Amino acid sequence: FTVLVLNGPNLNMLGKREPEIYGHKSLIEIMTELSQAAAKKHIELSHLQSNAEHILIDAIHDAYQKVDFIIINPAAFTHSSVAIRDALLSVAIPFIEVHLSNVHAREAFRHHSYLSDKAQGVICGLGARGYSYALESAALWLEKQD
Ligand code: DQA
């Protein structure tokens, strides 16, 4: 199986960026650990981080009929992007939405997501572990589909 992990704007700053909210691990560390976990499950994992909405959208389009599952932390685009929602719907690839922080315990503008109602599941507030849980769940779901 192939799983695509997408990370949105400012997540390249993880480790440096508001560590009290987002933790001390860098995105490279998080994605390295996730790739190792994927390899053990014989899942082919690819990862893209971008600060640009259209690059994330292009990556979603490129995944059409190639990728079995998407794990996405759309970061701030969660709360603004109808275009990312539409891209995910256009390729019809199941996805899990991940946030490191508990968005519901934060500012009101972070309480709404343009993706959540279309996601297979949403994980937030569990830090970097959220990506691992998402991968775990995706793997179980993919095995059942086969
Ligand atoms: C985030 C939460 C978003 O509200 C914020 O804009 C981010 C990161 C998270 O992982 O907690 O950039 O998606």
Q: Give me the pLDDT at residue 80, please.
A: 98
Domains contained in the chain, number: 1
Q: Give me the pLDDT at residue 1, please.
A: 97
In terms of residue numbers, what domain contains 98? 2-145
Q: Are 69 and 142 in contact (CB under 8 A)?
A: yes
Q: Give me the pLDDT at residue 49, please.
A: 98
CATH of the domain at 60: 3.40.50.9100
Task: Find the residues whose C-beta lies inside 6 A of ligand 1.
Answer: 10, 73, 75-76, 78, 99-101, 103, 110
Q: Which helix (H) or strand (E) holds 7?
A: strand 2-7
Q: Give me the pLDDT at residue 146, please.
A: 67
From 25, 50, 73, 81, mutation site for ligand 1 pocket: most ligand atoms within 8 A of C-beta: 73
Sign of CA dihedral 62, 64, 65, 68: positive
Give the model confidence (pLDDT) of 60-79 as tens digits.
Answer: 999 999 999 999 999 999 99
Query: What is the value of pTM for the model shown?
Result: 0.97
